[in-house]
Amino acid sequence: MSPVAEPTTATRTPLHVTGELLATKKVGAYRHLTLVAPGVPERFRPGNFVAVSIGAPGSDTTRLARRAFWIHQVKPVGGYGPTLQLVVEPTGPGSQWLASLAPGARLEVTGPLGRPFALPKEPVSCLLVGEGYAAAPLFPLAERLRERGCAVNLLVAGADEAHLLSALEARRSARAVTVVTRDGSVGLRGEVADVVDDVLGRSQAAVVYAAGPLATLHAVAVAAEAHGAWSQTAVEQPLTCATGLCQGCPVPVVGEDGVARRVRACADGPVLRGDRVRWAELLGEAGEPR
Amino acid sequence: MSIDLGGLTLANPVMVASGCGGTGRELAAYVDLHELGAFVTRTITLNPRAGGPVPRILETPSGLVHAVGLQNPGLEPFLASELPQLVQQGARVVVSIAGTTLGEYAELARRLGRAPGVAAVEVNLSSPDAVASGVLDVREPFHAANVVAAVHRELPRGLPLLAKVRPDLIRVVESARTVLEAGAAAVVVGNALPAAMPDGRPAGLSGPAIRPLALRCVTEVRDALPDAAIVGCGGIADEADARSFLAAGATAVQVGTALLHDPTTAARLARALTTDREVIG
């Protein structure tokens, strides 16, 4: 039995809580943070994320914009109940501050946020494609899919070994794992776009799940379309509020009614059907890195 | 103990500022909307607007620079889905509007005046990137007053009109006076300051950075127009901020940017200021 109960609709509303950093671990180019955030893990579904305030709670130096991070794992830690694990790539002032925190630090956390990955009703074959830190939400997804009897195929990519989320722990949920690095340090040399067609053909996947840079998501959506598979893409945009209030993270899509509109990556996404996203427009107006 | 804001009755002086509460559905996860004084919607236009390109919002020290471009679904979808949802949640709904012509303003007022559940209309006369967004240029108080008069003519008697003017210290008293004379029941003092994105696109600056300036504007309007109903807006983040605006003569306050940082801010402020008023009577 799963240690964390499956949430019901009533308990899926996000919470705003003061959490505590339990543990922090450097893994390659990333920091894995383990957080206690009461009530948040219980509501988690793969594809959800959390928003974190940058700066100690109540301090004058708190930054106004919040930072969003994929939930990588929910697991019980003795004495604390279920905890959240986030993967942080320290690139800007916000993520660097988070990565520098010592255990015991208090953090303001809002979550779980965003629409999660939709799970197939039938036990079909699935391909999960993740690049860089964005592969984080695919590991809990793999577990959920396996519980449903789906055959799980993983394609994990990164610039180099340091930017590759370890597929080791996922191997037990996966039927096949393909690794691609840009410099060829691990696995195949190249990009997701170079291999996704081939992997998709071999896996016979009916559903493709993807998380990574926009160009990668686009390549996956195109490949899925060509193979007649559904695609679920986790679209990342720089977020200001992360809760759906500010309309700062537009994603151009075509609605079910055929009408072109812009939805919010945070509240209407981040997971969107790949065939609904207007990729050309999205790639033309990609935001700045945080 | 309720508050009278030019005929709009509020349970407490805390309002959600336009454009910072989403559709209401998202904010409802953190606050019961009926606990708030009022919920001001994002600015609604007659026709849908796709909004501007990204980046739309960037962080600056003590503030946010934003150029959303008034993205909204247009009046029809708003009336069909967003408004009923807000009403159902018990929100006191104030609909913010903008138009590209006086005729559009009149049409918006006519249709909203008949819509059940609208407690008041707020005319957005101070969008910091209005000209770039293509809405009617109302930077001159005279033009702003024309818009207010056009909207006022179409609203049913008893439906209050709020006019949101820019926190421009030089013109704010004149702006407030002219819109009140044109039929506004209350004046909302403060919106984002005109600013620019790093690439030069017209934008607005909001957040704690502009709070002292907004407070000064409220003070000036109060001094010049002792009987005006004033709503203070600009960088209000906590109870002390809200109290300083109320002390300066505002009847109510609007909270915006603070919600983007912590969506529970509105609930906390509403609770603090409601209790306070009940105790004092």
Domains within chain B, CATH numbers bracketed? 3-278 (3.20.20.70)
Which residues of A belong to the annotated binding site for [2Fe-2S] cluster? 241, 246, 249, 266
Q: Which two tokens stand for residue A197?
A: 């067609």
Least confident of A13-27, A204-218, B27-41, B128-142: B128-142
B53 vs A108, A249, A285: nearest CB: A285
pLDDT of residue A256: 87
Instruction: State the CB neighbour count (10 A cutoff) for residue A166.
Output: 14
Q: Which residues of B touch A262 (CB under 8 A)?
A: 50-51, 71
Looking at the predicted complex, does its ipTM rise above 0.90? yes
Model confidence at B237: pLDDT above 90:
yes
Domains and CATH numbers, chain A: 9-113 (2.40.30.10), 125-282 (3.40.50.80)
% of chain B beyond a pLDDT of 90: 91
Decide if B45 contacts B97 (C-beta within 8 A). Answer: yes
pLDDT of residue A78: 85
B59 vs A63, A237, A286: nearest CB: A63
User: In angstroms, what separates the C-alpha of B149 from chain A's closest C-alpha?
Assistant: 30
Give the residue numbers in B contacting A (CB under 8 Å), as ranges.
19-23, 25-27, 29-30, 42, 48, 50-51, 53-59, 62-64, 66, 68, 71, 73, 207-208, 257, 259-264
Q: Please identify which residue in the block is written with the tokens 């889905």.
A: B81
Decide if B10 contacts B38 (C-beta within 8 A). Answer: yes
H, E, C per residue of chain B: CCEEECCEEECCCEEECCCCCCCCCCHHHCCCHHHCCEEECCCECCCCECCCCCCCEEEECCEEEECCCCCECCHHHHHHHHHHHHHHCCCCEEEEECCCCHHHHHHHHHHHHHCCCEEEEEEECCCCCHHHHCCCCCCCHHHHHHHHHHHHHHCCCCCCEEEEECCCCCCHHHHHHHHHHCCCCEEEECCCEEEECCCCCEEEEECHHHHHHHHHHHHHHHHHCCCCCEEEECCCCCHHHHHHHHHCCCCEEEECHHHHHCCCHHHHHHHHHHHHHHHHC
H, E, C per residue of chain A: CCCCCCCCHHHCCCEEEEEEEEEEEEECCEEEEEEECCCCHHHCCCCCEEEECCCCCCCCCCCCCCEEEEEEEEEEECCCEEEEEEEECCCCHHHHHHHCCCCCCEEEEEEEECECCCCCCCCCEEEEEEEHHHHCCHHHHHHHHHHCCCEEEEEEEECCHHHCCCCCHHHHCCCEEEEEECCCCCCEECCHHHHHHHHHHHHCCCEEEEECCHHHHHHHHHHHHHHCCEEEEECCCCCCCCCCCCCCCEEEEECCCCCEEEEECCCCCEEEECCCECHHHHHHCCCCCC
For the stretch A29-40, pLDDT in tens is 999 999 999 999
B55 vs A16, A245, A288: nearest CB: A288
Compute the average pLDDT of residues B62-88: 96
Nearest CA in chain A to B60: A64
The strand order across the sheet containing B193-196 reads B57-60, B63-66, B202-206, B193-196
Mutation to test the A interface, candidates B31, B39, B41, B261, most A Cβ within 10 Å: B261
For the stretch A81-134, pLDDT in tens is 999 999 999 999 999 999 999 999 999 999 999 999 999 999 999 999 999 999
0.95 cut: is pTM over it? no
Q: Provide the mean pLDDT of chain A.
A: 91
Nearest CA in chain B to A245: B22
Nearest CA in chain B to A110: B262
For the stretch A213-272, pLDDT in tens is 999 999 999 999 999 999 999 999 888 999 999 999 999 999 888 999 999 999 999 999
What is the C-alpha separation between A147 and A163, in angstroms, rounded? 28
Q: B193 forms bridges with which residues in the sheet?
A: B205
Compute the average pLDDT of residues B24-33: 95
Query: Per the CB < 8 Å rule, is A64 touching B208?
Result: yes
A247 vs B25, B48, B71: nearest CB: B71
For the stretch B189-214, pLDDT in tens is 999 999 999 999 999 999 999 999 99
Q: Which residues of B are catalytically annotated?
A: 127
Query: Per the CB < 8 Å rule, is B263 touching A66?
Result: no
pLDDT of residue B141: 93
pLDDT of residue A173: 76
pLDDT of residue A9: 52
Model confidence at B73: pLDDT above 90:
yes
**What's the length of chain A?**
290
Q: Which residues of B touch A259 (CB under 8 A)?
A: none
pLDDT of residue A289: 39
Q: Which residues of A touch B26 (CB under 8 A)?
A: 243-245, 267
H, E, C per residue of A211-240: ECCHHHHHHHHHHHHHHCCEEEEECCCCCC
pLDDT of residue A59: 78
Mutation to test the B interface, candidates A61, A241, A282, most B Cβ within 10 Å: A241
Higher pLDDT, A238 or B259: B259
- Tell me the pairing of strands A207-211 and A188-189: unpaired
Model confidence at A8: pLDDT above 60:
no
Model confidence at A184: pLDDT above 80:
yes
Q: Which residues of B touch A261 (CB under 8 A)?
A: 48, 50, 73
Q: Which residues of B touch A267 (CB under 8 A)?
A: 22, 26
pLDDT of residue B275: 65
Compute the average pLDDT of residues B94-110: 97
Separation in Å, CA A213 to CA A46, A130, A135, A158, A266: 18, 9, 10, 11, 16
Query: Per the CB < 8 Å rule, is B54 touching A237?
Result: yes
User: In angstroms, what separates the C-alpha of A135 from chain B's closest C-alpha?
Assistant: 24
Give the residue numbers in A contacting B (CB under 8 Å), as ranges.
13-14, 16, 53, 62-66, 108, 110, 237-238, 240-241, 243-250, 261-262, 267, 285-288
pLDDT of residue A3: 43
What is the C-alpha separation between B224 and B228, in angstroms, rounded? 9
**pLDDT bracket for residue A288 (50, 70, 90):** very low
Higher pLDDT, B57 or B130: B57
Compute the average pLDDT of residues A52-69: 88
Q: Which two tokens stand for residue A208?
A: 């493709």
pLDDT of residue A4: 46
Q: Which residues of B touch A281 (CB under 8 A)?
A: none
What is the C-alpha separation between A15 and A12, in angstroms, rounded? 9
